[in-house]
């Protein structure tokens, strides 16, 4: 069971790094503008995602709720350690 705990911890840390990189890419994209060499067009992709979810009505709202639940439960599990 310890291997599952260690694997889960590594995955949580990788997700934290990924989320930090996304936040950095958003800030840099807003400050610099356009596409960034390493990050690409993060803001355009996020805007497209929001538009796609918004145009799907109730299904989009359910997906947004599920995504929020996944991130909040992940944060709660990481905070327990």
Please name which of 40, 42, 60 lies closest in space to residue 51, comparing C-alpha atoms. Answer: 60
Mean pLDDT of 29-41: 76
* pLDDT tens profile 5-27: 899 889 888 888 888 888 888 88
How many whole angstroms separate alpha carbon 49 and alpha carbon 60? Answer: 10
- Work out the pLDDT band at 74, boundaries 50, 70, 90: low
24-to-18, 30, 36, 59, 70 alpha-carbon distances in Å: 10, 10, 11, 29, 21
Whether the full predicted model's pTM is greater than 0.75, yes or no, is no
């Amino acid at each position: 069971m310890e291997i599952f705990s260690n694997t889960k911890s590594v995955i949580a840390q990788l997700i934290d790094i990924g989320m930090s990189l996304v936040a950095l890419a958003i800030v840099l994209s807003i400050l610099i503008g356009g596409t960034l060499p390493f990050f690409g067009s993060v803001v355009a992709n996020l805007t497209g995602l929001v538009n796609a979810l918004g145009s799907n009505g109730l299904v989009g709202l359910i997906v947004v709720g599920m995504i929020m639940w996944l991130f909040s439960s992940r944060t709660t599990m990481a905070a327990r350690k």
